[in-house]
Structure 1
Amino acid sequence: MQITDMALLAGAGLLGGLCNAIAGGGTFFTFPALLAVGLPPVSAGATSALAIWPGHAASLIGEGGLLRQELGARPGRVAVFTLASALGAGLLLVSGDALFRRLIPWLLLFATLLFALGPVVNRWLARRQARVPPRVAGIAEAVVALYGGYFGAGLGVLLLALLAVTGGGDLRRQNVVKNALATLATSIAVLIFALGGAVAWGPAALVFLGAALGGVLGGRLARRVKPQVLRAVVVCLGLVLVWHYA
């Protein structure tokens, strides 16, 4: 691997970790960078998921009591989410590079729209205080978990919208449950990707190191940088990527 490729991966991880710590959207940096250094699409998706996984897990530090309260009381929810995430990751592996390559612009467009409209939709849902039947909510969670295992960009936005219409409690509880479910989906996907041999470990290490530093910097800059500004940057980047891969 050339030094320029190594710098690109570490830099993408840095930007991705920083954005994830403040507003989310790190996949928009890591996934294209992995493609740019020559990884096949499926391997790039799997490697990106692995590299940003610690960021999801770190968000749960100190929330053990609330997690047991929220998720421990609903083992069926956890089981369905786990199975659907595993299915999504398995579908990525069996779909192959050719199909995934054709889906990349559509997946990026979907994630970009989620990132752009998610806060507006979530506020609208919160004002309406809409609720959906438990069976419909379970199906919706399974679909979201399937997407999370397959690609995952914008997963947090989807989960927050889902929690808004399924009685997710106050904002802190919603965020904890959102982070927990996102971590669960990513963990299951990463395990399957690793067992399936889809992870490029060298590039993953470079992205991870950059993301770890970016997460630390993002935590320190969170009060100085407006999330709306970073969100706008990520949305613009997403649209450029959609145009590039179309």
Structure 2
Amino acid sequence: MEILVLIAAAFGAGVLNTVAGGGTFLTFPALVFIGLPPVMANATSTVAVFPGYLGGALGFRPEFRSFGRAQLVRLVAITLAGGLAGSGLLMVSSNAAFSRVVPFLLLGATFAFLFGDRFRQWAATRARAVRPEGALGLFAVALYGGYFNGGLGIVLLALFTLWGMTDLNRMNALKSGLSFLLSAISVAVFALAGMVAWPLAVVMMIAATAGGYAGAPLARALPKSVVRGVIATVGFAMSAVFFWRMVSAG
């Protein structure tokens, strides 16, 4: 039964990530539900959804060519540094401390997803006031991604808007590529630290990949409002569950 729960959650996460994002809202709670400690559940969840980022990055290869090599090297270096710092922070976090932070991270990621378009519009009005490609902002976002990862794509797109980028395809290309590299460094750190439940992670990776493939026709068919409503409902429900767990634990 536990394996079936994980397969269903990972398949659903693959679908959600293809359609709009938010797969972490399913994989992380499912792993906690079957009894994994929160820190190990977060690390295993990161590994489970990792393959999907590569497909997205490869799909935007033409857009990547529009970025200069020096520019990409700089952005990649900052992302890897931030991801390494965030992954290291998770390694030293106790399960009790992480459990107290998770409800707020889930709730914040849900709001980021729900109001992502408005956030990007607001960011566009502030773009001229922000230094292009600021290292501090990208490092902070990468640190968050290395620590938790939920809602990472939305936050990256908003950051790119603050930098003054307007071409959504180029923004999605950069988001996919940096997300893949960030997840890669996190997976490497978690694997070396022994924080990944590999039998569960492999099963979930397969299910998530299948879900990602199945999500393509859904992405074309479902109205955006329906997808947004489903993910927001899941996000708020999971946030409520983890807030309840935090209060119950004292």
- 2:246 match: none
Inter-partner Cα distance in structure 2 for 1:110 and 1:118: 11
Which residue of 38, 42, 50 maps to 2:39? 42
Inter-partner Cα distance in structure 1 for 2:68 and 2:192: 27
Which residue of 120, 127, 151 maps to 2:118? 120
Counterparts in 2 of 1:1-246, with a 5 A limit? 4-70=1-67, 72-74=69-71, 75-126=73-124, 129-134=127-132, 137-246=134-243
Q: Do the aligned residues in 2 keep the contact of 1:131 with 1:167 (CA within 8 Å)? A: no
Q: TM-score, normalised by structure 2?
A: 0.91
Deviation of 1:73 (Å): 2.5
Deviation of 1:128 (Å): 6.0
Per-residue CA deviation, residues 59-114 of structure 1 (Å, 9 max, x unaligned), is 01243353254262322222111111101001001112111111111111111111
Aligned partner letter, 2:199: G
Provide closer, same or farther for how the CA distance between residues 71 and 111 of structure 1 changes in structure 2, counting only shifts above 3 A. farther
Aligned partner letter, 2:48: A
Aligned CA-pair RMSD: 1.6
Q: TM-score, normalised by structure 1?
A: 0.93
Deviation of 1:129 (Å): 5.0
Q: Which runs of 5+ in 2 are unaligned?
A: 244-250
Q: Do the aligned residues in 1 keep the contact of 2:49 with 2:208 (CA within 8 Å)? A: yes
Per-residue CA deviation, residues 25-73 of structure 1 (Å, 9 max, x unaligned), is 0000000001011111111000000010111111012433532542623
Aligned partner letter, 1:155: L
Per-residue CA deviation, residues 174-221 of structure 1 (Å, 9 max, x unaligned), is 110111111111111111001110000111122112211111110122
Q: Percent identity?
A: 40
Q: Which runs of 5+ in 1 are unaligned?
A: none
Aligned partner letter, 2:86: G
Deviation of 1:227 (Å): 2.9
Inter-partner Cα distance in structure 1 for 2:100 and 2:195: 18
